[in-house]
């Protein structure tokens, strides 16, 4: 792209007045008086990263917000961004608990696991978790994942690709063995329970022995009334609403431009690739951050607000975009790996099909939540780079189920308590079958974990410990290649299995 431009310098602070410019065939007139770096950010689709965005400061603040974190993010000429230790660590020691920036549960997994829409903790009573599983199972909607070689299977999307089909995504690891429901070989036949028993379990009329030892937070419904999102607390509900969900809610209090179009967008994403949901979250997140910053900024000005926003609109939007701008990204249709069932001679057609898929998704999203002041976010190039960012950097979201823990607990009770408890619990285990231990599964983007480079000889890994009960990424040192020296560059393997 060679843009045609007419601009002149207009200040000691290197600000510029752009009279007109043609960019990607789109003519932009009279965009005045914003700094040269913001001009280039607009010109090159937000992908150019100016120094004034202070990348290092951003990561330093992010690391400071992670409790007990003793790591650093630094630039390296050979590897780009990297995560380093300035102190000694031991094998197996916790290196990082990273809060996701964007995450979503796989649509099919929502049938099996009721979790908080923000932190992804399991919610509701144990009886509710088991009851709703059996209810959906009885009407043919259960989509429990069987396991392959000791790990929960990937959710495959259209075109035969997994959520990160280039093979560079990482599964958040947790120890499982065959007794945890990931059995190999023949599967036991499920023994259905009467409908009345399942309903009594869901309604709380039936209690299982020792279930109080596995209580989860109460279910908090979405304040927008969508009946799709549920939460573990009002704190999570408010955080989700203010960060993403107010624009992506399909309920009557939604702030979306068109909930009808939003429903069509969600259906399309569920049928094709749920990374479109993550991309929608990224755009909604940026729009809401921009609106919040704009409201705070304008509260200082009582007069001439239109003139003020003319000068500061783009800086505010770029500041809202900052958490995404610092991450490595490429266009999705350029970086996605060619599936094995696609002949190399058909690669161009395949990539065009992927691009058209993204275009259709974007059109539906644009009809649902378009904001004129944030118009650059709705270009196909930006949308493609956001999805490409997830393709290149995503980490599998895994949270262990309390249902699994419950049945293991019953099995480890001493006699005669075990025998008495199993008289009640065993029929439910038989009804669930070998897939009783289905975990919460999804995909997520973690801002600090994504800075770790990949290696076939890692010194760190994503690993869910027993106490890790939400969707945060947990990174620990590993024995095989871990050297706990100061200044050591942490790298994790291309892919981990559960």
How distant is the alpha carbon of residue 227 from its chain centre? Answer: 20
In this prediction, residue 123 carries a pLDDT of 98
* Tens of pLDDT, residues 462-493: 999 989 999 999 999 885 444 445 556 666 54
Q: Name every residue whose Cβ is closer than 8 Å to that of residue 229 and which is 6 or more positions away in sequence.
A: 117, 222, 240, 245, 249
Question: Can you tell me the mean pLDDT for 331-344?
Answer: 95
CA-based nearest residue to 326, from 451, 212, 142: 451
Name the band, by pLDDT with cuts 50, 70 and 90, for residue 173.
very low
Q: Who wins on pLDDT, 425 or 161?
A: 425
**Is the pLDDT score of 73 beyond 80?**
yes
Specify whether domain 55-99+447-493 bears CATH 1.25.60.10: no
Residue 65, C-beta contacts closer than 8 angstroms, at least 6 positions apart? none
DSSP state of 16: E
Q: Rg of the Cα trace of the chain? A: 25
Whole-number Cα distances in Å, 405 to 4, 210, 321, 410: 63, 11, 41, 9
The Cα 190–Cα 434 span in angstroms is: 8
Q: Where is 201: in which H helix or E strand?
A: helix 195-202
Read off the DSSP letter of residue 487.
Answer: T
In this prediction, residue 138 carries a pLDDT of 87
pLDDT tens for residues 97-136? 999 999 999 999 999 999 999 999 999 999 999 999 999 9
**pLDDT value, residue 323:** 94
Q: Please tell me the distance from the alpha carbon of residue 58 to that of residue 101, in angstroms, as a whole number.
A: 14
d(CA 167, CA 433): 31
Residues of the chain with CATH 2.170.270.10: 55-99+447-493
Model confidence band, residue 494 (pLDDT cutoffs 50, 70, 90) = very low
Does the structure show a pLDDT above 70 at 43? no
Q: Strand 220-221 and strand 170-171: pairing?
A: unpaired
Instruction: Please give the distance of CA 304 from its chain centroid, rounded to a whole number.
Output: 40
Which is nearest to 444 in space by CA: 474, 465, 466, 467? 474
| Rounded-to-integer distance, Cα 254 and Cα 222, Å | 10
Give the pLDDT score at 414: 95
Torsion angle of alpha carbons 73, 77, 79, 85, nearest 10°?
A: -30
CA angle, 301 then 373 then 52, to 5°: 70
Is the model's pLDDT at 322 over the cut of 70? yes
DSSP for 32-61 reads EEEEHHHHHHHHTTT-S--GGG-HHHHHHH
What is the rounded distance in angstroms from the CA atom of residue 2 to the CA atom of residue 373? Answer: 25
Residue 387 predicted with pLDDT over 90: yes
**3-class SS of residue 246:** helix
In this prediction, residue 493 carries a pLDDT of: 45
How confident is residue 455, by pLDDT bands cut at 50, 70 and 90? confident
């Amino acid at each position: 792209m060679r843009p045609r431009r007419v601009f002149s310098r207009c200040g000691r602070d290197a600000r510029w007045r752009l009279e007109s410019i043609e960019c990607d065939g789109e003519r932009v007139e009279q965009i005045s008086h914003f700094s040269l770096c913001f001009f280039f950010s607009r010109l090159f689709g937000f992908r150019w990263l100016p120094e004034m965005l202070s990348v290092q400061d951003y990561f330093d603040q992010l690391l400071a917000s992670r409790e007990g974190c003793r790591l650093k993010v630094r630039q390296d000429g050979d590897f780009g961004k990297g995560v380093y230790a300035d102190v000694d660590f031991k094998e197996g020691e916790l290196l990082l608990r990273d809060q996701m920036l964007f995450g979503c549960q796989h649509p099919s997994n929502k049938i099996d696991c009721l979790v908080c829409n923000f932190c992804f903790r399991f919610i509701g009573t144990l009886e509710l978790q088991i009851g709703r599983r059996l209810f959906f199972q009885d009407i043919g909607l259960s989509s429990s994942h069987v396991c392959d070689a000791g790990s929960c299977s990937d959710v495959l999307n259209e075109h035969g690709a997994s959520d990160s089909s280039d093979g560079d995504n990482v599964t958040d690891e947790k120890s499982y063995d065959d007794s945890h429901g990931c059995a190999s070989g023949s599967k036991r036949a499920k023994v259905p329970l009467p409908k009345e028993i399942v309903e009594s379990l869901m309604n709380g009329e039936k209690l299982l022995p020792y279930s109080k030892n596995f209580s989860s937070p109460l279910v908090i419904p979405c304040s927008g009334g969508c009946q799709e999102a549920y939460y573990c607390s009002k704190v999570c509900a408010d955080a989700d609403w203010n960060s993403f969900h107010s624009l992506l809610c399909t309920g009557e209090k939604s702030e979306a431009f068109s909930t009808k179009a939003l429903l069509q967008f969600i259906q399309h994403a569920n049928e094709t690739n749920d990374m479109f949901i993550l991309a929608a979250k990224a755009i909604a997140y940026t729009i809401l951050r921009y609106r919040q910053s704009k409201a705070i900024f304008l509260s200082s000005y009582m007069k001439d607000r239109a003139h003020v926003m003319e000068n500061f609109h783009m800086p505010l939007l770029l500041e809202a975009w900052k958490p995404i701008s610092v991450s490595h990204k490429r266009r999705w249709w350029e970086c996605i790996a060619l599936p094995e069932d696609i002949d190399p001679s058909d690669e161009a057609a395949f990539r065009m099909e992927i691009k058209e898929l993204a275009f259709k998704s974007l059109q539906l999203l644009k009809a649902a939540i378009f904001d004129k002041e944030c118009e650059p976010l709705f270009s196909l190039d930006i949308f493609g780079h956001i999805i490409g960012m997830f393709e290149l950097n995503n980490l599998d979201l895994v949270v262990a189920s309390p249902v699994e823990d419950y049945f293991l607990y019953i099995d480890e009770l001493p006699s005669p308590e075990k025998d008495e408890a199993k008289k009640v619990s065993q029929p439910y285990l038989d009804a669930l079958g070998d897939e009783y231990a289905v975990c919460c599964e999804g995909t997520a983007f973690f801002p600090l974990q994504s800075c770790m480079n990949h290696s076939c000889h890692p010194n760190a890994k994503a690993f869910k410990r027993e106490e890790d009960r939400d969707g945060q990424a947990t990174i620990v040192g590993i024995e095989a290649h871990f050297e706990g020296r100061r200044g050591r560059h942490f790298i994790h393997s291309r892919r981990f299995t559960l």
